[in-house]
Structure 1
């Protein structure tokens, strides 16, 4: 069934096109083509062995960046479909949003950002742009994936404007990461405005997905229990409801039934708020969405406050749990070994990186090449390389 798009959706036929012109596909829209290029990219495949919180080898059931991205895409399709938005574009941005992540989750990003401070910094969203505009080198006519402007815009600013009066300092580092500056210089992404509603949906879908699956993973790891979640807003009422409907339900089914209700609460809240805000604003085009000066896709204030309490709990009981902090220290030390080594001895990089190394005109350019290589590592490859080069895997 063909979806009827709202007037404020991103229409494929109205796309601003690609930096390098290509003929239209006979059976896929430009945004479907973008999505497919993301899925077939090397960077997307590597997400299979990059983690969210736990190191890749710690268990097969914990989320990876790949499973997370698939879950985000599912939420984005659901929300965008209900709102009359372009589901293909929302899915594309959702699938691409974590392409720039380093090994070892946010721990790896923190380490690489610190190591790259003298060379223009590091940010995973900016690195995703660098990947899709430069580092994926499979096509004869261009570097990168030659995505449409709308997809690049969504990757760059799905969390909001990055410059100007509406920029959120939390998501708009000053100065901007070099990778973002370079991508924007190639094609103006209008960094001072909000992104399309599809990109905003991808951003909120990320919040929904990780809020939900981090609860699952934290329970599975034993870092907290269902009784702990009974004390929290959102999760507590969900468990109480399941207990009323299914008294005596076994533990795993009880957990799943409660957390899927938490998931549903978040999605339904976003849809309800968006419908109300869109009905009030009556935007006639995607450009009106971009110019609104505020996000139109968001949680209600009451749910947002409840989710802050849940995230605070997760921060202290999961992200900063002693066992997690111990592993964070080990993997940080691994990157602190690997990055300087490759910077001092770039001849140790694989053969396919040699041309870039030889073309580097400064230590800054070389450091950025090394950062590209290290950021592209999976958890397991980083551990293996550290063991090969330093005689210890650092994660025992």
Structure 2
């Protein structure tokens, strides 16, 4: 039996919680489009994001280690898929809108620069006093303006609810109606879940990559409560297992504990604060009530885990060297394109009069992959030190 759009909407009303962001609350699109006969709004958004150029480029953008470090380390694409998976799980269990949560997760890093946070720091430094740079704001810019897939409009023309979720803590680089609406209404529960899923995914998986690169050792993690508890539990359950499998199983146990804690604590808070409608979610935001939360113990253990990562992985000499070289690459490229605008692609140059040279160069560099940025630097005869 074929399900018509009306049937899909009726099923959504029955399945999703009253406080979920349903298709009826999508907010519509900036540029009018007829609704699809069997694909609901957030499903269409999700598909548009996956088919975008920016999404494909995530494969060669740094998470912690650049692509040349090896084939089994995470990049922005694999990280994004992991965030989407965690978000979808949490949304499903809490009877929230899985399609919306997944769409926000898939888009959350589209604006990330090459070379990870080092690249963002470099562009933020360059653009200080020139409009700024921040990857969440850039992600919004990508889906609203920079992607070109439709003859009728720029960007992907995503639903307002999806755009609001991508905003995270900031808005656009300029004040907009959507920005003001986000500040007045607050984020959806689906958007809040993605924020937490991002934190959960990178916290656990950066440990896995750090161990894989041997920048940290299992014994180094003995001081981290979350790790120690789950590692010892796995060792007890599988005493004959090889260390490699013990570690992989520990990551599974760790992920399950953290996600389960978020689900149960959030569910409890929704009941305590009598969240029964979507309007109640907005009310809680205005009253500064946190609805999506860890337990107090988990908050403390997650802080301990992240503190360990900053000290032992993110500030590791080799990672720091990669970061410094990534920053230098971006500084050199920005300076080069400033002095040689004829080297900027026409698709960016056509917006120079409207937005200024600094912004279009920033857009161009932010959209580059690590690999393309390195190759561009070398092709223009600039000094570059290999990783």
Q: Same fold (TM over 0.5)?
A: yes
Once the 2 structures are TM-superposed, how far is the Cα of residue 334 of structure 1 from its aligned partner?
1.0
Distance 1:235 1:265 in 2: 11
Query: What's 1:337 paired with?
Result: 332
Correspondence for 2:246: 254
What is the distance in 2 between the residues matched to 1:149 and 1:376?
Answer: 23
1:318 pairs with 2:313: yes
Mapped contact 2:112–2:135 kept (Cα < 8 A) = yes
> In 2, Cα distance between the equivalents of 1:189 and 1:102?
27
Q: Are 1:383 and 1:394, in contact at CA under 8 Å, matched by a contact in 2? A: no
Distance (Å, rounded) in 1 between the aligned partners of 2:118 and 2:155: 27
Normalising by structure 1, report the TM-score. 0.91
Separation in 1 of the partners of 2:173 and 2:23?
25
Output the CA distance in 1 between the equivalents of 2:208 and 2:95: 31
Give CA-to-partner distance per residue, 1:248-278, whole Å, 9 cap, x none: 3111100011111110111000001111011
Q: What are the superposed Cα offsets for residues 311-350 of structure 1, whole Å, 9 maximum, x if unpaired? A: 1111111100011111111111111111121122211112
User: Comparing 347-356 with 77-86, which one deviates more in the overlay?
Assistant: 347-356
Gaps of 5+ in 1: 163-175
Name the SS for the 1:190 alignment partner.
Answer: helix
Q: CA deviation at 1:132?
A: 0.8
Match of 1:264 among 249, 256, 260: 256
Deviations 1:362-394 (A, max 9, x none): xxx210000000000000000111111234443
Task: Give yes or no for the alignment of 1:13 onto 2:24.
Answer: yes
User: Is the Cα contact below 8 Å between 2:378 and 2:384 reproduced in 1?
Assistant: yes
Answer yes or no: is the 8 Å Cα contact 2:18–2:277 preserved in 1: yes
Contact 2:234-2:249 at 8 Å conserved across structures = yes
Residue of structure 1 equivalent to 2:3 = none
- Equivalent position of 1:152 in the other structure: 163
The aligned residue for residue 208 of structure 2 is 216
Helix, strand or coil at the partner of 2:174: helix
- 1:360 is displaced (CA, Å) by 4.2
**CA root-mean-square deviation:** 1.7
Q: Distance in 2 between matches of 1:137 and 1:68?
A: 25
What is the CA–CA distance in structure 1 between the aligned matches of 2:20 and 2:354, rounded to whole Å? 42
Structure 1 position 181, deviation (Å): 2.0
User: How far apart are the structure 2 equivalents of 1:372 and 1:317?
Assistant: 32
Alignment of 1:129-140 (within 5 A): 129-140=140-151
CA drift of 1:193 comes to 4.1
Structure 1 match to 2:360: 369
Counterpart residue number, 2:5:
none
Taking the aligned partners of 1:84 and 1:131, their CA distance within structure 2 comes to 30
Distance in 2, matches of 1:140 and 1:92, equals: 23
- Partner of 2:133, secondary structure, is coil
Matches of residues 203-242 of structure 1 in structure 2 within 5 Å?
203-242=195-234
Indicate how the Cα distance of structure 1 residues 14 and 353 shifts in structure 2: closer, same or farther if over 3 A, else same.
Answer: closer
Q: Give 2:303's aligned residue.
A: 308
Alpha-carbon distance in 2 for matches of 1:247, 1:315: 31
- Per-residue deviation, 1:104: 0.3
Summarize the alignment of residues 116-195 of structure 1 with structure 2, pairs less than 5 Å apart. Answer: 116-157=127-168, 159=169, 162=170, 179-181=172-174, 184-185=176-177, 188-195=180-187
Secondary structure (helix, strand or coil) at the match of 1:299 reads coil
SS at match of 1:118: coil
1:243 and 2:254 matched: no
Contact 1:194–1:294 (CA under 8 A) maintained in structure 2: no
Q: In the alignment, is residue 23 of structure 1 matched against residue 34 of structure 2?
A: yes
Q: TM-score normalized by structure 2? A: 0.93
1:360 and 1:366 in contact (8 A); partners too: no
Q: Does 1:381 align with 2:372?
A: yes
Matched pairs, number: 373
Take 1:315 and 1:186, find their aligned partners in 2: how far apart are those partners?
34
CA distance in structure 2 between the aligned counterparts of 1:389 and 1:291, rounded to whole angstroms: 54
Shift of 1:101: 0.2
Distance 1:181 1:288, change over 3 A: farther
